[in-house]
Amino acid sequence: MNAPFLIGPYEVDPERGEIRRGGAQAVSIEPRSMRVLVHLAENAGRVVSIRELLETVWKDVIVTQDSVYTSIAALRRALDDDGEAHRVIVNVPRRGYRLVVPVGHHEGETPSGGHRPETDPPPVDAVSEPEPVASTAVPDSVSAPARDASPVIDSAAGTGRRARPLVFVGVLLLAAVAAIVGWQTFRERWQTSPADLSVAVLPFSDLSGQQDQQYFADGLAVEILDELQHIPSLKVIGRESSFQFRGATQDPRRIGAALGAAYLLEGSVRRSADRVRVSAELVATRDGAPRWSKTYDVTTPDTFTLQDSIAADLARYLKLTVADLEPERHRMSPQAYDLYLRGIQLADSLTQENMSRAVATLHEAERLEPKSAKIQAALAIGYGAILLQGWAPAAESFAASKQHAERAFELDPANGTAHAALATVTAGYEWDWVRARSEIDRALALEPTDAWVLFLGATIYSIDGDFARARKLSEQLLAIDPLSQLAEFVLGARVLLREGDYVGAEKHLRRAIQIRPEYQTLHYFLSLALLRQGRAADALDEARQLDVAEGRDAISAMALHSLGRGAESDAALARRP
């Protein structure tokens, strides 16, 4: 269905990638989201499963269910269907999505292959988002039966690091792991080969009765990933890449190929008032079969030691020697740990309100554990984000960030996070590049395989003009985080574009967009790369992906001028905010 068609009062033009209602301005839709809408329209009235959408729209591309969720959310916004009551695209619990409004041509005919809705839209309380598929809990054993095989700096860089919450915008961008939704991944030709001793920790599923423990499940998975990174002989895939496979239903062999991992660690969490049950399972990506599994049932006071136990047991299964994974100075009470994880989750959303709540929550944790370097480092990052986002007086935010960073490495001299946070705010507020380089080098020496530290290092050196160093750090990041939008962004926008390699910049920026298409700044820099190649028409098309506030009119003006369309260029300049 490529010809324009109607969905209720909306005109949909698949060729132009636009949705329009009456005489209102058309809304541009990303190509894959448009293909989702076309498929739903062709099957109007029928429930279309997530698996069907993945196999139809993302054929030959490894993605997770989050890609479907993101496309549906974008379509609902364009169709004014993003309130609590979905009246155009409804969720059918555990089954998928259904288009429930009439579909036809301008003459009112039903398109070929389409169906009229079978019934009226179900009541609001009858629909909900499909639940992620959780790993099946397997009793303690060394092996288990094979299961069915049926992820100045701009806000473009998104999220992806350890349980450190933030994206720094302005001079520097800290990666937040955020609500991690809608990530596209590389195609087969970009996939890597797994090393024998390599593991990817996938997001753990929340199986608690109230479904309100996802922050704890995510935090536990990240803490395990962090612990495993300290085993020298084990390659651990970075969080930005592995967390793209939240609720993944693909064959583990395909996920392993995309991540370059020999093993996947999956898990689920059930948490009640005084007990926590965690089921963990190690799957070999060579054949998709489980190799090790164990269930941990502990009381609430023991929750902080869970990541130690799981990481140590996994290391023993892989016949790796481990030291004390979590030094005594890092430990905190269960109450403080819970507040710490809640603070991290709040910060991941990167809104002003939630960032303020995150800092307040971390201060509650600090009151319970004033000597926790982890909490102090998280506060340093939080205040740094507030500083660079301009959400509070700069001098006050800088002083708080610096104070908590210095307190963190006073408590733990080996805390690389604190040094990285101090490097960032020093560069962003004081413009003291000598101190910034010194601090980031210290962080890299302490945590050479940490994805977030590598990203910050690449960013600081790229802004300082040391492109060779920035390139090397970005390549190190890609080696452990092969689907890192952050590394692709730094290479494309900060290194190659400034070096004059516009073709190379385009390649890396397109990869970054394929991973995180919703980040508009990526389209801005891609437009610049296309302009520098003399491809003004392509740059103009790319600029149409941008909002006004993200530079759409500025890029359009340059592209139109290059095309000799002076009057239109002047008009675009006049529209600039």
CATH 3.40.50.10610 segments of the chain: 155-330
**What pLDDT is recorded for position 514?**
87
- C-alpha torsion 249→253→259→261, nearest 10: 120
Quick count: other Cβ atoms within 10 Å of Cβ 254?
17
**What pLDDT is recorded for position 244?**
86
**What pLDDT is recorded for position 67?**
72
Q: Residue 353 burial by CB count (10 A; 0-12/13-18/19+): exposed, middle or buried? A: exposed
Q: In a 3-state reduction of DSSP, which class is residue 91?
A: strand
Two tokens at 23?
Answer: 């005489």
Please state whether beta strands 290-299 and 275-284 pair in parallel, antiparallel, or not at all (unpaired): antiparallel
CATH top-level class of 337-360+369-447: mainly alpha
Contact 414, 454 (CB under 8 A): no
Task: Give per-residue pLDDT as tens, 76-95.
Answer: 888 888 665 678 898 876 67
Contact 95, 103 (CB under 8 A): no
**What pLDDT is recorded for position 468?**
92
- Work out whether the CA dihedral 254, 255, 260, 263 comes out positive or negative: negative
By C-alpha distance, which of 347, 413, 352 is closest to 381? 347
Query: What is the value of pTM for the model shown?
Result: 0.62
By C-alpha distance, which of 362, 341, 8 is closest to 177? 341
**What pLDDT is recorded for position 141?**
30
Contact 410, 329 (CB under 8 A): no
Q: In a 3-state reduction of DSSP, which class is residue 516?
A: coil
Which run of H or of E encompasses 255? helix 252-259
**What pLDDT is recorded for position 64?**
59
Given the structure tokens 């800092």, which residue do they identify? 359
Two tokens at 102?
Answer: 């009439």
Given the structure tokens 């028409």, which residue do they identify? 537
**What pLDDT is recorded for position 491?**
93
Please state whether beta strands 235-236 and 198-201 pair in parallel, antiparallel, or not at all (unpaired): parallel
pLDDT in tens, the chain (577 residues): 678 999 988 899 998 888 988 777 788 888 888 999 999 999 988 889 887 888 888 876 655 566 787 788 888 888 888 665 678 898 876 678 889 888 886 554 444 434 433 333 333 333 333 333 333 232 233 233 333 333 333 333 333 333 333 333 333 333 333 332 333 333 333 344 455 789 999 999 888 877 788 888 888 888 889 888 888 788 999 988 998 888 766 788 889 999 999 999 998 998 887 888 999 999 999 988 888 999 998 887 677 778 888 888 888 888 876 654 555 446 788 889 889 988 988 887 667 888 889 999 999 999 999 999 999 999 998 898 888 778 888 888 889 999 999 999 899 888 888 999 899 888 888 888 899 999 999 999 998 888 889 988 998 998 888 999 999 999 999 988 999 888 899 999 999 998 999 999 999 999 998 888 877 888 999 999 999 999 999 999 988 888 776 788 888 889 899 999 999 989 988 887 6
Q: How far apart are CA 361 and CA 336, in angstroms?
A: 10
Given the structure tokens 């905010």, which residue do they identify? 577
Q: How far apart are CA 233 and CA 11, in angstroms?
A: 57
Helix axes 334-348, 352-368, angle to 10 degrees: 170
Amino acid identity, position 508 = H
Quick count: other Cβ atoms within 10 Å of Cβ 546?
20
Return the CA Rg of the chain.
Answer: 24
Q: Which CATH architecture has domain 5-126?
A: Orthogonal Bundle (1.10)
Domain 155-330 falls in which CATH fold? Answer: Rossmann fold (3.40.50)
**What pLDDT is recorded for position 115?**
40
CATH 1.25.40.10 segments of the chain: 337-360+369-447
Write down how long the chain is.
577
DSSP 34-72: HHHHHHHHHTTTS-B-HHHHHHHHSTTS---HHHHHHHH
Q: How far apart are CA 494 and CA 497, in angstroms?
A: 6
Contact 28, 17 (CB under 8 A): yes
Q: How far apart are CA 514 and CA 495, in angstroms?
A: 19
CATH 1.10.10.10 segments of the chain: 5-126
Q: In a 3-state reduction of DSSP, which class is residue 136?
A: coil
